[in-house]
Amino acid sequence: MILTALMECYDLLKKKYGTEAPHGIPEFGFSREQPDFCVVLDKNGEIKLIKPIEEGTVLILPTTTKSSGRTSSAKDHPHFLWDSTDYIFGARKKAKDKLDYFTSFKKLCENKLFEEIQNDEGMKAVLNFLENWERGDMDPEKHILLKDYWDRMKSKSNSQGQTIIFQLYGEHKYIPQRSAIVKSWKKHIREIEIEDNRPEKNKKKKPPVEGISLLTGDWKKNENDNLPIAVQHRKAIKGGMGAIVSFNFKAAESYGLEGNFNAPVGIDEAFKYITALNYLLEDNPNKYKVMLGSIATVFWAEKDVKTNAGLFVEETVKHSLKSPIKPSDKAPDKEKKIYDTITSKLKSFNEGLKKGQEVLQPDEVQKGNTKFYILGLEATSKGRVSVRFWLKTSIKELFQKLAKHLQDIEIKTDNFNSPSVYEIIYQLKHKKKEDQRYKTTEDDDKFRKRTSIIATDLAMSVLTGIPYPEELLWGILDRIKKDGDINFTRVSMLKGILMRNGYLKRAQQLSNLTQEALMALDEKCNNVGYVLGRLFAAYEKAQSYYHWKERGKIIDKTIRDRYYGTASTTPLAIFPTLDKLSHVHLSKSGWLLPIIEEITNLLEAKPYPAVLPPPEQALFTLGYYHEKAELRQKKREDEITPDDLIENDNKNN
């Protein structure tokens, strides 16, 4: 199902973007590449110039299944007229390796299949270069032009050096892009692929394998425009990280079939699904891909569908998973304007979705049944790619699930901005408080690996409507206890978990807790956890106000910094102490006294509980958050203290 959808995606992308660089998707026998350096040759094959290629420049270049799927230590299967420094210059430490890599590249360029273009000026220049280079000492560091660039050319992290492409002196096109060369490659790529996909036994080539494709049900054989079954599939993720279909051990094989013949797919079909996947996986802000932890998530629709906010459906999904990054103060005005436009459109879209309004443009409502696909992949180890999740749905159904998520996490506030999945997961990152600000202290790579599974589970909850992961409840509560940062994103997610995971219904059996109490302050709610959270917020306000009036300065650490973890987990251990402290603090903040009396009356003289379970701890946090917001509104203007300004500044962090 996944591979079939990706095959169809290839055709959609081809129709939408064409086959030309920089945005097109390659035809059979080509791939999207980003070379690092250009070597300019004259007609005699002499190097005239070395040019670094601008980072991010995409070219569509000739390639084969085996050359794109080779390992970093492979000595054969070079690319045609472009490759790494190892193949083009023989840049290996061992003398034997030097010759092996270089010879395999030269052999492909001299292949008899391409005799028809031997007289092409570009082809002739490359062949002359190879002859000249082989006759020399093959040492780039001694070449008058190469030596200045060599440290950069060989500095790439992979073991085969940086990517080199040739250009004829005085021409704009690169040599692999010359029309005669492209025409010849298209003519012979079928023949090359069939030869490369012949199975081997005892180092002897066997005939191409015929059979029924699992993707289309067609009989695949070497005939006319048909192609036989693929022996090897291209890499699912570029850079040699792994293939999405592979059989690496005998226990996975059956019926006497070997390797990928256990999942027969035609050579052309394998090319389509992998090319589409690699296109979606490219690091490009315009592509519909986000990283959730270490999981690459890609998505696409069968047709272009626009919302009434002016965004394509893929854009809304992308920003539901990961919000647009806010540009720095020094960023160009153009970037800031784009960011403001996108966030404004997203807010408009989310508001309409939350209220159950039609969010598609009037002339596109009928496209609500358009299929939408979401795929999550993770490179779990070298040579392995795991499918973490796969979702096939319709745009209409997807929007229903997104609306349910927005409603579940909604909290009444002056400026409600729905946090994305990434922002929610980010709340599990280790932080510490410095100068009234919360700063992260955890390494990004470690954090991504640590949260990959929970990020996957949360994404599926948002997109399918299933319960939120329980680990998220414990994780957020744990981080609040350790760093004291009780912000909008954390509180809204706790509210969502209580709503969706059934905790609200259980709590309602023991108290008059309502759904409204989770969205905004409910002064009549007598749920113990909720009431204690409110009481703790009032005590904290009394303390900070007392210090401001008595000592004329902002208190460095409030009871939240010292006692929040204990108060929200084992109230009996700390609330009697807080009650005594409050008598002192209230001497300077009399306006809080009736509020505290009203809150304590809701406890009905019951003893403080010894322990609060996690759902009650979440309600404690909600009660605390709502009461603090309410206290900011109740005071007179002349009673605002500097710490209130800090709270207002930080409340949406």
C-alpha distances (whole Å) from 385 to each of 235, 379, 392 are 10, 4, 20
Closest CA to 389 of 260, 272, 299, 474: 299
Q: Calculate mean pLDDT across residues 32-51.
A: 94
Closest CA to 317 of 298, 292, 339: 298
Predicted pLDDT of residue 160: 60
Give per-residue burial for 68-107: e unless 16+ CB within 10 Å, then b. bbbeeebbebbbbbbbbbbbbbbbbeeeeebebbbbbbbe
Alpha-carbon dihedral of residues 553, 557, 558, 562, nearest 10 degrees? -160
Predicted pLDDT of residue 590: 78
Q: Calculate mean pLDDT across residues 283-309.
A: 83
Predicted pLDDT of residue 434: 58
Predicted pLDDT of residue 155: 47
Q: Which residue has the tokens 């795991």?
A: 386
Q: Calculate mean pLDDT across residues 366-395.
A: 86
Cα–Cα distance, 613 to 619 (Å, whole number): 10
For residue 238, report the phi and psi dihedrals to the nearest 5 degrees.
-65, 160
Is residue 196 pLDDT above 90, yes or no?
no
274 vs 258 pLDDT, higher one:
274
Give residue 638's pLDDT band: very low, low, confident or very high (50, 70, 90): very low
Per residue in 86-121, pLDDT tens? Answer: 899 988 777 777 888 899 999 999 999 999 999 999
Cα–Cα distance, 578 to 333 (Å, whole number): 50
266 forms beta bridges with 229
Predicted pLDDT of residue 652: 40
| Residue 20 near residue 30, CB atoms below 8 Å | no
Give residue 28's pLDDT band: very low, low, confident or very high (50, 70, 90): very high
3-class secondary structure, 298? strand
Q: Which residue has the tokens 């086959």?
A: 19
Predicted pLDDT of residue 556: 79
Q: Calculate mean pLDDT across residues 169-193.
A: 94
- Which two tokens mark 10? 């290839």
Cis peptide before 22 (omega within 30 of 0): yes
Q: Calculate mean pLDDT across residues 362-382.
A: 83
Residues whose CB falls within 8 Å of the CB of residue 444, separated by 6 or more in sequence, listed in order = none
Predicted pLDDT of residue 159: 53
153 vs 371 pLDDT, higher one:
371
Give residue 476's pLDDT band: very low, low, confident or very high (50, 70, 90): very high
- Which two tokens mark 168? 């004829």
Predicted pLDDT of residue 596: 92
Is residue 620 pLDDT above 90, yes or no?
yes
Amino acid at 476: I
Predicted pLDDT of residue 636: 44
Phi-psi domain of 91 (left: phi exceeds 0; alpha: psi -120 through 50; beta: other): beta
| Residue count of the chain | 653
Predicted pLDDT of residue 80: 95
For residue 431, report the phi and psi dihedrals to the nearest 5 degrees.
-135, 165
Cα–Cα distance, 610 to 145 (Å, whole number): 77
Give residue 65's pLDDT band: very low, low, confident or very high (50, 70, 90): confident
- Which two tokens mark 280? 């979606």
3-class secondary structure, 148? helix
Closest CA to 299 of 361, 391, 386, 367: 391
Predicted pLDDT of residue 390: 94
Residues whose CB falls within 8 Å of the CB of residue 322, separated by 6 or more in sequence, listed in order = 290, 291, 292, 420, 421, 422, 423
Give residue 382's pLDDT band: very low, low, confident or very high (50, 70, 90): low
- Which two tokens mark 46? 């002499």
371 forms beta bridges with 394
C-alpha distances (whole Å) from 358 to each of 102, 364, 486 are 61, 11, 34
- Residue 330 buriedness (CB in 10 A; 0-12 / 13-18 / 19+): exposed
Predicted pLDDT of residue 96: 75
Q: Which helix (H) or strand (E) holds 406?
A: helix 395-409
189 vs 199 pLDDT, higher one:
189
Predicted pLDDT of residue 150: 86
Give residue 56's pLDDT band: very low, low, confident or very high (50, 70, 90): confident
Give residue 142's pLDDT band: very low, low, confident or very high (50, 70, 90): confident
Highest mean pLDDT among 69-78, 123-132, 383-392: 123-132
| For the chain, percent of residues with pLDDT exceeding 90 | 43
**Of the candidate ranges 281-290, 329-338, 395-404, 466-475, the one whose mean pLDDT is the lowest:** 281-290
Average pLDDT value over all residues in the chain: 86
C-alpha distances (whole Å) from 519 to each of 343, 407, 484, 509 are 23, 10, 21, 19
- Which two tokens mark 644? 């209130």
- Residue 356 buriedness (CB in 10 A; 0-12 / 13-18 / 19+): exposed
242 vs 362 pLDDT, higher one:
362
Phi-psi domain of 420 (left: phi exceeds 0; alpha: psi -120 through 50; beta: other): beta
Closest CA to 245 of 268, 264, 229, 221: 264
Give residue 131's pLDDT band: very low, low, confident or very high (50, 70, 90): very high
Predicted pLDDT of residue 433: 64
Is residue 234 pLDDT above 70, yes or no?
no
Per residue in 148-167, pLDDT tens? Answer: 888 888 745 445 678 999 99
| For the chain, percent of residues with pLDDT exceeding 70 | 91
Cα–Cα distance, 576 to 413 (Å, whole number): 32
- Which two tokens mark 84? 């790494």
Greatest C-alpha distance within the chain: 98
Q: Which residue has the tokens 């922002």?
A: 423
Give residue 637's pLDDT band: very low, low, confident or very high (50, 70, 90): very low
Q: Calculate mean pLDDT across residues 286-300.
A: 84
Q: Which helix (H) or strand (E) holds 41?
A: strand 37-41
3-class secondary structure, 360? strand
Closest CA to 621 of 522, 545, 531: 531
Per residue in 537-594, pLDDT tens? Answer: 999 999 888 888 777 777 878 899 899 999 999 999 999 999 999 888 888 777 888 9
Cα–Cα distance, 474 to 452 (Å, whole number): 16
Give per-residue burial for 22-56: e unless 16+ CB within 10 Å, then b. eebbbbebbbbbbbbbbbbbeeebebeebeebeee
Predicted pLDDT of residue 650: 47
Closest CA to 376 of 317, 445, 459: 459
